[in-house]
Amino acid sequence: MRLLGIPLGKERHSLDKMKIWGQGGSPEDPSYAGMNVSQDTALRLTVVWRCIRLISETLAALPVDIVRKRGEVREPVARPPSWAETPNPEQTWFQFAERVFESLAMDGNAFIVITSVDPMGFPQELWVLHPQSIQVKSEGGRTYFLWGPANQRLSRYGPADLTGDVLHIALATAGGARGMSPLEQARQAIGLGLVTEKFGAKFFGRGQQMSGVIQLPATERPNQSREYISLMRETWEAEHSGTDKAHRPGILTGGATWQTVSITNEQAQFLETRRYQAEEIASRVYGIPPHMVGLQGYTSNYGTGIEEQAIGFVRFTLLPWIVRFEQAMSQLLPRGQYVRLNQRGLVRAEPTKEADLFVKYLTNGIMNQDEIRALLDLEPVPRGGKFWMPSNIQEMGMPPPAPAPPPAGNGQVPVPVGGDNA
């Protein structure tokens, strides 16, 4: 298989990143609101931009660990793959992971092409393709991809083909071969948000003085009225359009008068519509609490406090993204090794609660001092690897110990019959 005219194999190390990512593009089908909605136009809506940035940057910032399972314990591997730090010569891990999650949040698909392998045949250089430049096909029960204008055929990487070209990560597929785009599913909501934003921009950009009609004297003939109205409208727009000219005084001639025809934003439900559309996109499309995208005054099902809402956001929104990413990327590793995104920083409680939690872990033998100090970026201490438990705890299901016999009159404890002195 050749990609961009260069063999895919151990010798592949350089490529044109603009050709790899490409320009993509998607058909701009109009929504019911009359606005064309595509991946590019949807990003112009600030709440969509914020939702995608919040998900992609938060998940990309998580430390990535390569671990292996030993019994019931997962431990770091001695030599993690190079792509866990530098996926390709042009990107850090953060930039690469951010691009993957952006692609998922916008298109519902992430296509990662493998352009170089190590001497053992495992991937070592990864790039993210533009999802709109990929077609997903199936033939004889096997999935393959057509990439770019030339429809170059690429094979799918997975357990059935470890020499494949592309690792495909998809969101909800509804039984299809391709993930469903969140932006496509929310086309109508985004279209309404765009049209209200456009209305507000034009309303304030042209000025409220434009909201009116010019009335002519009744003596004017119809043909002259149309010509006069056209001339007056063009003159008025030239003199008063835009915020810089909105408050200029207007002068009407020929007996014409001005009658204001306006409607308040409250009457038009303008502000409420914009607010509702932002909340709908954030909460229903991306599962993000409204306060995290700048909306205030909303109650959340994730909890009452900011901390509870943040933990709920991690559990119910980010966790499926994390698991999907971990399981897909783990396919690039030798058997028995796994990719793990460290989530602890996302669910970290306030210092007082965290300290109480560590004390409980320590005194109940769940963690030792060195493990807790490692979480706090502190060095080990002498005897820090010991586990401690309360002395009054015993194994569940065991009978309680027999009570000690009372001491005799001389203060000595009698020895049972059959004992050492019998």
Confidence band for 346, pLDDT divided at 50, 70 and 90: confident
- Are residues 87 and 27 part of one domain? yes
Smallest CA-to-CA distance from 130 within 53, 39, 54 is with 39
Residue 152 lies in a domain: yes
Least confident span in 149-158, 238-247, 291-300:
238-247
φ, ψ for residue 164 (rounded to 5)?
Answer: -65, 170
Q: Give the Cα separation of 337 and 70 in Å (integer).
A: 10
Contact status, residue 393 vs residue 401, Cβ threshold 8 Å: no
Q: Compute the 3-state secondary structure of the chain and give helix, strand, coil in percent, each to the nearest 5.
A: 35, 20, 45
Tell me how long the chain is: 422
Averaged over 343-359, what is the pLDDT? 75
Percentage of the chain lying above the pLDDT 90 cut:
28
- Are residues 280 and 160 part of one domain? yes
Averaging pLDDT over each range in 24-38, 360-374, 398-412, which range is the top one? 360-374
Q: Which tokens hold the place of 88?
A: 């390709």
Residue 363 domain boundaries: 349-392
- Are residues 164 and 150 part of one domain? yes
φ, ψ for residue 308 (rounded to 5)?
Answer: -65, -40
Residue 72, classified by CB atoms within 10 Å of its CB into exposed (0-12), middle (13-18) or buried (19+), is exposed
Cβ count near 106 (within 10 Å): 24
Residue 117 lies in a domain: yes
Which pLDDT score, from 0 to 100, does residue 360 have?
Answer: 86
Q: Give the Cα separation of 37 and 35 in Å (integer).
A: 6
Averaged over 377-381, what is the pLDDT? 79
pTM (two decimals): 0.71
Confidence band for 209, pLDDT divided at 50, 70 and 90: very low
Q: Give the Cα separation of 272 and 77 in Å (integer).
A: 53
Contact status, residue 1 vs residue 155, Cβ threshold 8 Å: yes
Confidence band for 123, pLDDT divided at 50, 70 and 90: very high
Residue 125 or 40, more confident? 125
- Are residues 128 and 82 part of one domain? yes
- Are residues 186 and 220 part of one domain? no
- Are residues 66 and 54 part of one domain? yes
Q: Which tokens hold the place of 126?
A: 């990864």
Q: Which residues pair with 81 in a beta bridge?
A: none
Averaging pLDDT over each range in 36-45, 72-81, 325-334, 340-349, which range is the top one? 325-334
Number of structural domains (the chain) is 3
- Are residues 256 and 126 part of one domain? no
Residue 132 lies in a domain: yes
Averaged over 95-111, what is the pLDDT? 95
- Are residues 289 and 225 part of one domain? no
Q: CA torsion, points 70, 74, 76, 79, in degrees to nearest 10? A: 40
- Are residues 216 and 74 part of one domain? no
Name the 3-class secondary structure at 159: coil
Which pLDDT score, from 0 to 100, does residue 37 have?
Answer: 79
Residue type, 98: E
Q: Give the Cα separation of 351 and 68 in Å (integer).
A: 31
DSSP state of 88: B
Averaging pLDDT over each range in 112-121, 224-233, 391-400, which range is the top one? 112-121
Q: Which tokens hold the place of 347?
A: 């669910």
* Contact residues for 194 (Cβ-Cβ < 8 A; gap 6+): 33, 35, 37, 41, 42, 44, 45
Residue 323 lies in a domain: yes
φ, ψ for residue 398 (rounded to 5)?
Answer: -80, 145
Averaged over 65-73, what is the pLDDT? 82
Average pLDDT, the chain: 78
